[in-house]
């Protein structure tokens, strides 16, 4: 199975900060990667698919980049509602695998 290594596992930041979260795949996955945001008690929400395509309705402060094995989610200017846990998911090959998650805290 493809392993997804996500870092950092937690991150302290402030409103207005620029933050970056990374995911590394154990083998090449083209650009078959999505980023998800999850708030406590809620279902995950798709932010980015195909590594860099912003899902409809998602604010433009979110962006994704990368291909092959290394991927990045960037939030350009943190807003209060962005404090949540973020996951990457490779959908290149079964079994699909999530990163371990990054908890973004104030």
Partner 1 sequence: EVHLVQSGAELKKPGESLKISCKTSGYIFTIYWIAWVRQMPGKGLEWMGSFYPGDSDTTYSPSFQGQVTISADKSVTTAYLQWSSLKASDTAKYYCARHSEVLGNAFDIWGQGTMVTVSS
Token pair in block for residue 67: 């291909």
Residue 79 beta carbon to partner 1: minimum distance, rounded to whole angstroms: 22
CB nearer partner 1, residue 46 or residue 84: 46
Beta bridge partners of 22: 7, 72
CB nearer partner 1, residue 13 or residue 46: 46
Contact footprint for partner 1 (CB under 8 A): 1, 31-32, 34, 36, 38, 43-46, 49-50, 53, 55, 87, 89, 91, 94-101
Residue 1 beta carbon to partner 1: minimum distance, rounded to whole angstroms: 7
Residue 14 beta carbon to partner 1: minimum distance, rounded to whole angstroms: 25
Beta bridge partners of 19: 75
């Amino acid at each position: 199975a493809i392993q997804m290594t996500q870092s950092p596992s937690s991150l302290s930041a402030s409103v207005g900060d620029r933050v970056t979260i990374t995911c590394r795949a154990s083998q090449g996955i083209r650009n078959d990667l999505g980023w998800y945001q999850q708030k406590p008690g809620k279902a995950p929400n798709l932010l980015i698919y195909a590594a860099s395509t912003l899902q409809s309705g998602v604010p433009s402060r979110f962006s994704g980049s990368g291909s092959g094995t290394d991927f990045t989610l960037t939030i350009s200017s943190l807003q209060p509602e962005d404090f949540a846990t973020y996951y990457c998911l490779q959908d290149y090959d079964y079994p699909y695998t999530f990163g371990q998650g990054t908890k973004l805290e104030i």
